[in-house]
Amino acid sequence: MTDFWFNHFNVSFTKPQSAPFIPSYENHAIRPKALGKFDNLLLATAKSPAMLLYLDNASSVGVRSNSKNKVGINENYARELMELHTLGVDGGYTQKDVSEVARILTGWTIYPMNGYGNQNLIKQITKGNEVQRQSRIEGDFVFAANRHDKQLKTVLGKDFENNGYNEGVELISYLSSRPATARFISEKIAVRFVDDTPPEMLIDKMANTFLASNGDIKQVLTAMVYSPEFWSRENICSKVKTPFELAISSVRALDAQVENPNHLINWITRMGEKKYYYIAPTGFPDKSGYWINTGSLLNRMNFGLSFASNKNSGVTIDLLKLTEDHEPESPEQALKIYTELLLPSTDFITLKNRLSPLLTTQDLQKKVAKSADSNFPIPDEEMEVANRKKINSRKSNNAMLAQVVGLIIGSPEFQRR
């Protein structure tokens, strides 16, 4: 769920201003609240320096301190707050609503530190008694009352009187409680965990639970998991794993030991998912079509073969340990044994017909690597020899077993979750 919410409230390392704050954003704004109330999570992301800088709300000013100050209201965050974070693009708001939300959130900025933020901010908000009382400092978040638009605002027909920081908190709570938000969030969760086009009945159940529980994320997930639609045959294994999910599921399924996380990260990036670097505030698309094409399938196959053979994947795997040291006598037998371990519910005959022609292909990994991406280096043999000296030879897997297991990882059956 942390991964889901980070993608929902996406920020990107591609924006240098927000980059230093992203690790804290994930670990302190998102992770502790990933299964709590939605409005608390939304408020935490709204106040995070990573988000304030990524969507420019840190520089949004409703009141100019002097005529030379050309900084004004910035609507970037206000628009994404409504379109991407709460109501959805069809949530019934107008451009006027976006402008009003931006006015409410003027003065929400960051504490000046290490060259980030307005270095004169603290002096400005503490120089007058009234401003000092209305301003607010919470860790690296600052509400600067002297930058706030103090006029009446109206969002979706609701009036927001001049109430400083609390206007924004009230707005967050209001947007979180809208039926459009309940449906938008519920559908997005269902798309992630059930199907690219989840059943309307399921979305309705989740949205009703969202509203009845005041946005309790755990209860919404429980409603999803306990619904018949979640377990219907047509929705089982209907989703394709993202590169991140493919890599992590491979590590878990084969009880792999991660020796060099950077190598694993490089493979995830190569398969199309550069974590924390998606530029747009939408986050990575959650539809299967985004992840699957000819090039990506070859890269996934290449990953599986490298992964299973302990080559340049950053992990070590003992394939015989998984079979309690019973070594298969042939590729066909190995395919059956490891399919039962990795894909116990799959149709073995279909998988066998698909993979059998490749089981004994010579230099398969090099051929796949060359077809997948000629710009990505094939593992350096001398480096691999050096790496193997660092690990127990017990983990230097039999080439035949590695090829079989690599093919299973690269198969369409293993790609689904």
Low-confidence ranges of the chain (pLDDT < 50): 65, 67, 374, 377-395
Specify the pLDDT at position 382: 41
Supply the pLDDT for residue 134. Answer: 82
Rounded CA-CA distance 241/113 in Å is 40
Can you read off the two tokens belonging to residue 108? 């929400």
How much is the pLDDT for 86?
98
What is the model's pLDDT at position 68?
Answer: 55
Question: What token pair was written down for 205?
Answer: 């159940």
Report pLDDT for 128: 58
What's this model's pTM, rounded to 2 decimal places?
0.87
Cα distance between residue 220 and residue 284, in whole Å: 22
Residues 217, 274, 255, 356: is their CA dihedral positive or negative? Answer: positive
The Cα 39–Cα 377 span in angstroms is 46
User: In terms of C-beta density within 10 A (0-12 exposed, 13-18 middle, 19 or more buried), how is residue 369 classed?
Assistant: buried
Give the pairing of strands 141-143 and 108-110. antiparallel
Q: What is the dihedral of CA 189, 195, 198, 202, to 10 degrees?
A: -60
Question: Using one digit for the tens of pLDDT, what is the confidence trace for 187-239?
Answer: 999 999 999 999 999 999 999 999 999 999 999 999 999 999 999 988 888 89
Which of 51, 10, 410 lies closest to 249 in space, CA to CA?
410
3-class SS letters over the chain: CHHHHHHHCCCCCCCCCCHHHHHHHHHHHHHHHCCCEHHHHHHHHHHCHHHHHHCCHHHCCCCCCCCCCCCCCCCHHHHHHHHHHCCCCCCCCCHHHHHHHHHHCCCEEECCECCECCCCHHHHHHCCHHHHHHCEEECCEEECHHHCCCCCEEECCEEECCCCHHHHHHHHHHHHCCHHHHHHHHHHHHHHHCCCCCCHHHHHHHHHHHHHCCCEHHHHHHHHHCCHHHHCHHHCCCCECCHHHHHHHHHHHCCCEECCHHHHHHHHHHCCCCCCCCCCCCCCCCCHHHHCCHHHHHHHHHHHHHHHCCCCCCEECCHHHHCCCCCCCCHHHHHHHHHHHHCCCCCHHHHHHHHHHHCCCCCHHHHHHHHHCCCCCCCCHHHHHHHHHCCCHHHCCCHHHHHHHHHHHCCHHHHEC
Q: Please state the domain extents for the chain.
A: 2-176, 193-235, 243-415
pLDDT in tens, 173-185: 999 999 999 999 9
Calculate ∠ Cα 236-242-244, nearest 5°.
125
Rounded-to-integer distance, Cα 240 and Cα 377, Å: 27
User: d(Cα 76, Cα 411) in Å, to the nearest integer?
Assistant: 42
Question: What pLDDT is recorded for position 372?
Answer: 64
